[in-house]
Amino acid sequence: MRTIALSKDVLVGEIGYGLMGLTWRPNPPSEEQAFKAMKAALVQGCNFWNAGEFYGTAENNSLTLLKNYFTKYPEDADKVVLSMKGCLDPQTLVPNCTPAGLRSSVENCIRLLPPSIKTIDFFEPARLDPSVAVEETVATLVELINEGKIKHGYMLSEVRGSTIRRAHKIHPVSGVEVELSVWEMEVLGEEHGAAAVCAELGVPLVAYSPIGRGMLTGEIRSHDDIPEGDFRKHSPRFQPDVFSVNIKLVDELQKLAVKKGVSSSQLAISWVLARRRYFKSSSSDQLTVIPIPGSSFEGRVVENASAKDVEWTEEDEKEVSRILGVFEVKGGRYPEGATKFLAQ
């Protein structure tokens, strides 16, 4: 698998692995099943793992899962590059990026996942705190890096290009995590600016939900297919009044996947990878994108990783552009209460 530099001497595979679904869902998989999926990701070269302090309960979250995994497989600890999201209240999902809030979050992560088992390579405020200037947030993160509590650097999540630029002036940003898929392309636009600034500064764009929260697999055919307690049950884009419209986009993309002889998931991830070639900004700099699909099934992890081998042609790009020109996605990404922390 092609490798990408997150910082000096830190290389990761061109496709990463998102751990959210292993602990933050109504019926999380067994530890045995999760371990098989995690091992499969590493074997496939997907060594960049994205996790969250708040992904799950106090007893079963990303950190407790990782501690158990690396205790069982200590030889894998140095092979995995771990990005940990934090600074988000698990009950209210309100960010706290004050110096005290940042320190508390990082120190809790270290408590749950001791450095003797696995270091936190990169730390990432899951959302920025509107009451704290990004410069102050980055200054605290730099202190934590210098103290050795964060090994390599920091990342940002759900931020605009202007915010990335401000943060980068204080200390280089190692990556910016945003939602990006055929289902969601706001970050590619001039108004948002994240993709353009990342390309200019040479900062990798980490694309979460590259399969549209599972919608682009085609396996969810109605609102009723979503389990009770699942986040998507309340997501505007999955509501009954727009579902019948949004599924038309999925069906059209599936036709292209069948024509290419690939799965719908592979098609979706391939489109994200192709933004390296097809994203255009005012500068001539190339965008680096790392999709981080997540799955709790070993076979699906292998399938997703194989998207790197799918040939993306000019004809494919034109066909997807045609489809997007006809079928517009309806509904917002998040329920209203969560939108105020997006695109800061």
Label the pairing between strands 10-13 and 122-125: unpaired
Rg for the chain, CA atoms, rounded: 19
Distance of CA 218 to the CA centre of its chain: 20
Question: Closest Cα partner for 220 from 185, 183, 261?
Answer: 183
Q: Could you say which of 17, 55, 69, 334 is catalytic?
A: 55
CB 3 within 8 A of CB 204: no
Question: Closest Cα partner for 36 from 17, 56, 9, 60?
Answer: 17
Distance CA 197, CA 212 (A): 23
- pTM of the predicted protein model: 0.94
Between the two ends of the chain, the Cα-to-Cα distance in Å is: 33
CB 275 within 8 A of CB 299: no
> Which amino acid belongs to residue 152?
H
Say which residues have a Cβ less than 8 Å from residue 298's Cβ, sequence separation at least 6: 33, 36, 37, 39, 40
What is the full per-residue pLDDT of the chain (344 aa) written as tens digits? 789 999 878 999 999 999 999 998 788 999 999 999 999 999 999 999 999 999 999 889 999 999 999 999 999 999 999 999 999 987 788 899 999 999 999 999 999 999 999 999 999 999 999 999 999 999 999 999 999 999 999 999 999 999 999 999 999 999 999 999 999 999 999 889 999 999 999 999 999 999 998 889 888 888 888 888 777 878 888 888 888 888 999 999 999 999 999 999 999 999 999 999 999 776 667 899 999 999 999 999 999 999 999 999 999 999 999 999 998 888 887 766 666 666 66
- DSSP labels for 240-298? HHHHHHHHHHHHHHHHHHHHHT--HHHHHHHHHHTHHHH---SS-PPPPEEE----S-H
pLDDT at 196: 94
pLDDT at 149: 97
Q: Where are the alpha helices (DSSP H) in 53-130?
A: 62-72, 99-112
pLDDT at 231: 77
pLDDT at 79: 97
Question: Closest Cα partner for 82 from 106, 56, 58?
Answer: 106
Q: Could you tell me which residues are beta bridge partners of residue 11?
A: 5
Give rounded-to-5 percent helix, strand, coil for the chain: 45, 15, 40
Calculated CA dihedral for residues 176, 212, 287, 152, nearest 10 degrees: 30
pLDDT at 262: 97
To the query of whether residue 69 is one of the catalytic residues in this protein, the response is no
CB 84 within 8 A of CB 124: yes
pLDDT at 335: 64
292: left (phi over 0), alpha (psi -120 to 50) or beta: beta
Question: Closest Cα partner for 320 from 192, 185, 227?
Answer: 185
Q: Where are the alpha helices (DSSP H) in the chain?
A: 20-23, 31-43, 62-72, 99-112, 134-146, 161-170, 194-201, 240-260, 264-273, 275-278, 298-305, 314-326
pLDDT at 129: 93
How deeply is 19 buried, as exposed, middle or buried, from its count of CB atoms within 10 A (0-12, 13-18, 19+)?
buried
Distance CA 16, CA 304 (A): 10
pLDDT at 105: 96
CB 179 within 8 A of CB 127: no
Domains, the chain, in order of start with CATH, read 3-341 (3.20.20.100)
For the beta carbon of residue 344, count every other beta carbon within 10 angstroms: 17
Q: How far is CA 172 from CA 117, 142, 247, 308, in A?
A: 27, 10, 40, 28
Distance CA 262, CA 301 (A): 15
